[in-house]
Chain A
Amino acid sequence: MTTLERLQDILVKDYHVARERLSPDAVLTDLGIDSLSSLELMFKIEDAFQVSIAEDTPTNLVTVADVVNYIDNLLPR
């Protein structure tokens, strides 16, 4: 299962976003994930991927692909 698919699962289950809207270039704010809910998304990513978000929680994630890249960089290579 790819990072994108796992992220899509979280967004479908916890944010009730239709899977067909979750293309890599989908903008998070268009999906209803704004600055007030992005921290909660980071917590869910920590749980699902068993990673630890860096000290400086990112605030420059705009699209689904940005989140996927961010997670991939946290995962052990």
Chain B
Amino acid sequence: MNTRADALIIGGGPAGTSTAVWLAEAGWRVTLVEQHRFPRQKVCGECLGAGSFPLLDALGVGSEVRQAAGAPLTRVGWMDATRRLTARMPQSLAPYAYGHALGRDVFDSILLARAQYAGVDIHQPARVVSVNGEPGDFHCDITIGPRSTAGLSAAVIIDAHGSWEHGPRRLVANAPRDPTERVAQASDLFGFKASFCNTSLSPGWLPVFALNGGYGGMVVANAGRTTLALCMRRDTLRRVRMRYPGVAAGVALEHHLRTSCQGVREALQNGQRQGAWLSIGPLQTGTRLTDTPGIYRVGNAAGEAHPLVGEGMTMALQSARALTRHLIEYAARKGDVRQHQAAARAYAHSWRQLFSSRLRVAGCYAQIAMQPALSEPVGKLLNHWPGLLTAAAAFAGKARRKEFA
């Protein structure tokens, strides 16, 4: 393992690996630690929006990802207890009109291999256990595998650990309380995901479903595998688990879905689940950009929208692009605190411009989907005017009007 790096990146998902590639290609020495061995599954809707593909091209993996991914997502859908509606997906800018779905086991491995090719020093399974020091000279203790430990000096720390775990901000000794933690209070939503084979879900269709106390979505990803992901409120989850005692929470939810949502029941009628239900949470939507000089967050660690809109991976790539541009522009690896503050301000500005409206729209849609008093009249409206679904998808970021690459 290298003992000195310009950037230490924590997390080997799309945000971490794409940040690693762009920094390495700008001449930075980059070390990346990932806690799991790959390939591995993640709780994720596995949708790559059309806006991802110019960035994946810029990373040099666009064609590989398109070849591996499922059919272009040309239709959007709405399901509730009795309705099953379809509308066209809004088109994005040429050359990529539509998004695709791709399992995280495949997608993350493609990006990690790309980072390795770019010269990134990668360690997995590994964890950062402490961070001390200041911008330009952070000292990090890392455990590699079950027993081995190593030390690393890094000018910049990039927190790409996703939304579910504590990032390096909590690892910095005697750090003052981070005001962003207030914004990122844990919600009452838990995330679940499973893959199915032999479903009757139509490839290229991306239906979301409204549940009393939750929401979810389904899509046919690579190799004909159907990804089903959902979020469920704590109180509803408790009721469902009491109705189906003695089974894992995800299995209880699957029973609940099959009985309470006609569209899901029909799609999964002959489907067989592959592997166990994965669960994680609680979900923390909102913005949590850190103001600690020299430590930056990217991807879900920086903030996330309700997963209903399926924009998490696209936002991961876009935030990585924005962060790396500002870090390179302000020569942040040299460790000057004022340069770090300027880079952090510029990144925060870009982040809010890119994502604030998506976060608000996603929050609004999530509330509609979770509350029958709202989802029922909305379902009726969509039944009469399916074009509203297309417009809703466009508002959620599914149609890029501006290029970003």
Query: Which residues of chain A come closer than 8 Å to B248, judged between CB atoms?
Result: 40
Within 8 A of B (CB), among A42-68: 43, 47, 55-57, 59-60
Query: Which residues of chain A come closer than 8 Å to B281, judged between CB atoms?
Result: 39, 57
Q: Which of B125, B185, B241, B280 sits near A43, CB closer than 8 Å?
A: B241
Query: Which residues of chain A come closer than 8 Å to B190, judged between CB atoms?
Result: 39
A5 an interface residue at 8 Å Cβ cutoff?
A: no
A1–B192 Cα distance when bound, in Å, is 33
A11–B356 Cα distance when bound, in Å, is 42
* Contact indicator A36/B186 (Cβ below 8 Å): no
B234 to chain A, nearest CB (A): 9
Residue of A nearest to B43 (CB): A36
Within 8 A of A (CB), among B197-242: 241
A55 to chain B, nearest CB (A): 6
B176 an interface residue at 8 Å Cβ cutoff?
A: no
* Contact indicator B186/A35 (Cβ below 8 Å): no
A56 and B146 in contact, given A34-B36, A36-B43, A43-B249 (Cβ under 8 angstroms): no
Q: Which of B42, B250, B282 sits near A57, CB closer than 8 Å?
A: B282
Q: Is the interface of B mostly helix, strand, loop or mixed?
A: loop
A20 an interface residue at 8 Å Cβ cutoff?
A: no
Residue of A nearest to B281 (CB): A39
A36–B279 Cα distance when bound, in Å, is 6
Residue of A nearest to B191 (CB): A39
* Contact indicator A59/B165 (Cβ below 8 Å): yes
Query: Which residues of chain B come closer than 8 Å to A60, judged between CB atoms?
Result: 166
Query: Which residues of chain A come closer than 8 Å to B41, judged between CB atoms?
Result: 36
Total chain B interface residues with beta-carbon distance under 8 A? 23
Within 8 A of A (CB), among B5-45: 35-36, 41-43
B385 an interface residue at 8 Å Cβ cutoff?
A: no
B87 to chain A, nearest CB (A): 34
* Contact indicator A36/B278 (Cβ below 8 Å): yes
* Contact indicator A35/B241 (Cβ below 8 Å): no
Total chain A interface residues with beta-carbon distance under 8 A? 16
Residue of B nearest to A57 (CB): B282
B164 an interface residue at 8 Å Cβ cutoff?
A: yes
A29–B229 Cα distance when bound, in Å, is 24
A39 and B36 in contact, given A55-B186, A59-B166 (Cβ under 8 angstroms): no
Query: Which residues of chain B come closer than 8 Å to A39, judged between CB atoms?
Result: 190, 249, 279-281
B65 to chain A, nearest CB (A): 23
A14 to chain B, nearest CB (A): 9
Residue of B nearest to A60 (CB): B166
Query: Which residues of chain B come closer than 8 Å to A27, judged between CB atoms?
Result: 146
Query: Which residues of chain A come closer than 8 Å to B35, judged between CB atoms?
Result: 29, 34-35
Query: Which residues of chain A come closer than 8 Å to B164, judged between CB atoms?
Result: 35, 59
B233 to chain A, nearest CB (A): 13
Q: Which of A30, A36, A47, A55 sits near B282, CB closer than 8 Å?
A: A55
Most buried by A among B35, B125, B279: B279
A56 and B241 in contact, given A36-B43, A40-B249 (Cβ under 8 angstroms): no
Query: Which residues of chain B come closer than 8 Å to A43, judged between CB atoms?
Result: 241, 249
A36–B280 Cα distance when bound, in Å, is 6
A29–B166 Cα distance when bound, in Å, is 16
Query: Which residues of chain B come closer than 8 Å to A57, judged between CB atoms?
Result: 186, 281-282
Known contacts A37-B279, A39-B279; 13 further A-B pairs (Cβ under 8 A)? A27-B146, A29-B125, A34-B35, A35-B164, A35-B165, A36-B42, A39-B249, A39-B280, A40-B249, A40-B250, A43-B241, A59-B164, A60-B166
Report 25 cross-chain contacts, Cβ distance below 8 Å, ordered by A residue: A29-B35, A30-B146, A34-B36, A35-B35, A35-B165, A35-B280, A36-B41, A36-B42, A36-B279, A36-B280, A39-B249, A39-B279, A39-B281, A40-B248, A40-B249, A43-B249, A47-B241, A55-B188, A55-B282, A56-B185, A56-B186, A57-B282, A59-B164, A59-B166, A60-B166
What 10 A-B pairs come out closest when comparing CB atoms? A56-B186, A39-B279, A36-B278, A59-B165, A43-B249, A55-B186, A39-B280, A57-B282, A40-B279, A40-B248
